[in-house]
Structure 1
Amino acid sequence: MKFRSVLIFPNFNSGDQAIIQSIRQKNDSLYAHIRPHVSLVFPFQSNASDTIICDAVQSVVKQFKSFTLTLNRVEGDTDNGYVWLSVVQGADIIKMIHDKLYELDNFKPFYRRDIPYQPHVTIGQSLHPNEARQLVKTLNESQWHITAKIECVAIENILANDDSEILASFELV
């Protein structure tokens, strides 16, 4: 059974990428395993073939065009040790893709009703709640305005060591 997820890798400019990675390096336990991303389908285990998963994702992705997202505030689920940059511009499109993917039989059983979906880029996780709250407070002392072009949706295999191996990528035309 393979462990996979469906996600977006924003095309940040090099300066913004460096800022995000600097924060993640100190605060995100997955920093070394996967680059900054927005999850569309949270990690799931499935016996479905790669072809079936790819065909399902492609059937949704072909309905969307490339777009720009903007991240401009730091929030999180601090009680559970998570901190993220919230997507403001582009959030509606991301939510539509997310919802359409979870309507498919391949992903419907994995829908997380316990987590309200909010498009974001995680910059801190596995933190003590007090550390997470302090990080949000500290980072919100600065103004955030990061934009990125979204041109594709990817499917990853999550390896036993938590590394991300891209299975397929589909362009938003």
Structure 2
Amino acid sequence: MLYGVAIFPSKEVQDVANSYRKRFDPHYNLIQPHLTVREKEEWNDEQLAKAITHLQSVADQTAPFTVHFNRFSTFYPVGNVIYMALSQPEPLVKLYHNICSGLWKEPGKPYGYTPHLTIGQQLSSDELHDVLASLRKTPLDLTANIDRFHLLYQTENEAWTVHQTFQLKG
């Protein structure tokens, strides 16, 4: 089964993100707006049990933190993705490194971790540039308190569902 780790920001942030995702993200119906911490991968039952133990340990040692979304950005030309960017990504980067450490290190990943909330993907280059030109003029000033992350699994219809939630207690 495919598993991944994500953070769901506040309802206010999700509502703003969904106002764009409805139009520009083909995964809109498969998962709510989120910040991916660990990308999807296939795990068997033994790997899942070890991952849960590891994730609980990370959560126990991580203090809650705040994120601030301050602009729209893109991964173009690497990918035709538009996202809401963070002014201070360090707490999420630290969480990513703690989760993706030891046995859970992600080997051979072709790019560095950039915490973001996707609002558009699989766009044509022309559409991406048109949408981004408009969004860059739009002020973005949203804050969310992060006090948990979620282990998700993908269902048969390709939607993502929470398997377990981990409270930050550090």
Same fold per TM (> 0.5)? yes
**CA distance in structure 2 between the aligned counterparts of 1:169 and 1:120, rounded to whole angstroms:** 20
The answer to whether structure 1 residue 159 and structure 2 residue 155 are counterparts is yes
Partner residue in 2 for 1:21: 18
Partner residue in 1 for 2:7: 8
Question: Which amino acid is 1:64 matched to?
Answer: T
CA RMSD of aligned residues (A): 1.5
Residue 78 of structure 1: CA displacement? 2.7
Q: TM-score, normalised by structure 2?
A: 0.91
- After alignment, is 148-157 or 126-135 more displaced? 126-135
Measured at CA, do residues 20 and 122 of structure 1 come closer, stay the same or move farther in structure 2, by a change above 3 Å? Answer: same
Q: TM-score, normalised by structure 1?
A: 0.89
**CA distance in structure 2 between the aligned counterparts of 1:40 and 1:19, rounded to whole angstroms:** 20
What is the aligned length? 167
The answer to whether structure 1 residue 31 and structure 2 residue 28 are counterparts is yes
Partner residue in 2 for 1:76: 74
Q: Deviations over 1:45-68 (max 9, x none)?
A: 122433222111111121111111
Give 4+ residue runs of structure 1 displaced > 3 Å after superposition.
Answer: none
1:166 counterpart SS class: strand
Partner residue in 1 for 2:121: 125
**CA distance in structure 1 between the aligned counterparts of 2:74 and 2:168, rounded to whole angstroms:** 28
**CA distance in structure 2 between the aligned counterparts of 1:76 and 1:121, rounded to whole angstroms:** 11
Measured at CA, do residues 156 and 83 of structure 1 come closer, stay the same or move farther in structure 2, by a change above 3 Å? Answer: same
* Identity level (%): 23
**Structure 2, unaligned runs of 5 or more:** none
**CA distance in structure 1 between the aligned counterparts of 2:129 and 2:55, rounded to whole angstroms:** 35
**CA distance in structure 2 between the aligned counterparts of 1:137 and 1:111, rounded to whole angstroms:** 35
Determine if contact 1:4/1:44 at 8 Å carries over to the other structure.
yes
Question: Which amino acid is 1:38 matched to?
Answer: L
